[in-house]
Chains A and B, each alone.
Chain A
Amino acid sequence: MREMPAANPIIYDSSKCIGCNRCMEVCQVDIFIPNPEKGKHPIVAYPGECWYCGCCVMECPVEGAIELRHPLMNKVHWVEKSILMKNNKE
């Protein structure tokens, strides 16, 4: 049985990841465990403990193999300034 976590900080692209575990070894919170299948990306065992620092992504040798995603509630909004200015005129 599995349960969806409150947030899913790490998303892997299995087609790119070479399974080197460098992301896992640099994480100071140690949220990962190695994959029992050799050569596959680590498993996020403790997703809630992620500090969202990005060091795992900074350490990865393959562009795009690992992605860090803020929880939805932390998604910050932005808008084009010109749209705000238009609102002002209306």
Chain B
Amino acid sequence: MRKVYSKIESISGNVITVTAEGVNYNDLAVVTSAHGESLANVIRMNGESVSLQVFSGGRGVSTGDEVRFLGHPMQVSFSENLLGRIFTGSGIPRDNGPALTDNMIEIGGPSVNPAKRIIPRNMIRTGIPMIDVFNSLVESQKLPIFSVSGEPYNELLARIAMQAEVDMIILGGMGLKYDDYLYFKETLEEGGAMSRTIFFVHTAADPIVECLLVPDMSLAVAERFALEGKKVLVLLTDMTNFADAMKEIAITMEQVPSNRGYPGDLYSQLASRYEKAVDFEGAGSITILAVTTMPGDDVTHPVPDNTGYITEGQYYLRNGRIEPFGSLSRLKQMVNKDSREDHRALMDGMIKLYAAYKESLEKKSMGFRMSEWDDKLLKYGDLFENQMMDLSVNISLEEALNSGWKILADSFTPEETGLRTELINSFWPKERILEKESN
């Protein structure tokens, strides 16, 4: 039986300090107050003075409350029983199911030895042309969705979750609006995907420390499933809330802030989570898609900025569409050479023409006269936006490529596309050629 301490010396924000012996760094404790029990973990030790962050927050904790150390760091249960279940950031059931305590595993474990990693090689098809054709998602990739509040980023995540060819989904919600939480739940239930999904959800109303635990809980579980051969897709939303929670604790601990109040280790903290994305040779994989809202739509804000330095590209979601410019999948070249022979060329060619369309559009808005070429580009841009960029479009990669050729043929002559002759010969829609000849 471990010793119970009943004198809390200081309470500041979500951090309490007790005098205790025989405690180890990062250990877990149970704090019992009038409002019930909460977990807490050790974040600093100085002599016998031990500081802990209380998962349910410092509010309502009194100096006479009990602190009982458990002698181990934070853990989560790992088994098939997790599937279909919904938990809080500290692993307590949010649904009406039983608490799970079998096979407890530690969270925030060591990183994968770089020498054991392999080069990513499989595309994850999503049915979204702006992803599949232009910035393919690759198994084991870590990729953020940069967006601003009000954009349908959670709808996008839910849709990818429903359609992606993966074995299971782990949703980590941080500061999620309750409605959004229900939306995810309903969408996955309706789509029949709930039985291969696990939720770790911290909603905006929940204590802030639990928000900090969500990525580690989600990824620790993902890692075990991946080692057992599962292709796991981890969806995290919103990582900016996670960073803000870190900021709050750092300020309580009187750490010197580095940039707009964020702690100096923001990069390392984010990286240690994102780097959990991996493809295990001979087993499964973890792919991470993470919403990062940009305060003030500013990509140089510390959270999106540090994220960009860590992840393997990014999708910009703006005006309800994935932007072709700025969005980048750094791993796409690993997979788009083997998909279909016209994939790369069509991807490049269509983007170049879309850039030219943007220029024509600008000229038009400045009142310059439109040439015949400008008019063609304007038509093309319209088709492109409606048939490729619109998020309601839901087609396979092959259909999307065919649709791309059709858009080109509706707008241009073959020579105007700048595409190689062999490709034109094999892929230019046949009826167009006949039409042209008969004209």
A binds B: no
